[in-house]
Amino acid sequence: MAKNAPPRRLDDAALSDFLAGHTFGALATVKRDGRPHLSTVVYTWDPETREIRISTTEDRLKVKQLRNNPTASLYVSSADHWSFAVVEGKAELSEVTRTPGDAAGLAYLAAQRQKPDDEAEFLETIAAERRLYITLKTDKLYGTALDIA
């Protein structure tokens, strides 16, 4: 068996680039019995604020768990699984949008990277779905890359 280099620790800049270059991750929340609960999520990374933002709906288990315990982690893997990043921190939940055009819905709309073609329809949809954002504020960021020859 060939000997490969050990995993290479990623510095903050490399970790930030890695997170910005991906959109899927596994969000770990804490169940009442203390065991982790994992959910596959789509996320965005803000390198300036060092925050992860995740869109979800009010009825999801992760929302209930984060209301009980805001401790969370996001694990993001490269496509080949040789590199990864982990964001650990406390999650904050936005208000739930309940009525088209309410303050929560307008804040949700403002946070969109791409503005919808029909804002009124978008606001109706997110209110019907009872959407909110999870914002994971980074306390700790780490990861490694394994360079396979």
Residue 75 lies in a domain: yes
| Bridge partners (DSSP) listed for residue 73 | 28, 88
pTM: 0.89
Domain that holds residue 40: 8-95+132-142
User: Residue 2 domain-assigned?
Assistant: no
Is 45 a domain residue? yes
CB atoms within 10 A of CB 13: 9
Compute CA 49 distance to the chain's CA centroid, rounded to the nearest angstrom: 13
Through-space distance between the first and last CA atoms of the chain, rounded to whole angstroms? 12
In a domain, 71, yes or no: yes
Whether residue 63 lies inside any domain: the answer is yes
Q: What are the pLDDT digits (tens) for 9-26?
A: 999 999 999 999 999 999
Q: Is residue 16 in some structural domain?
A: yes
Structure tokens at 88: 């650990």
Query: What's the domain count of the chain?
Result: 1
CATH number for the domain spanning 49: value is 2.30.110.10
Residue 46 covered by a domain: yes
- Domain presence at residue 137: yes
pLDDT digits (tens, 9 = 90+) for 18-70: 999 999 999 999 999 999 999 999 999 999 999 999 999 999 999 999 999 99
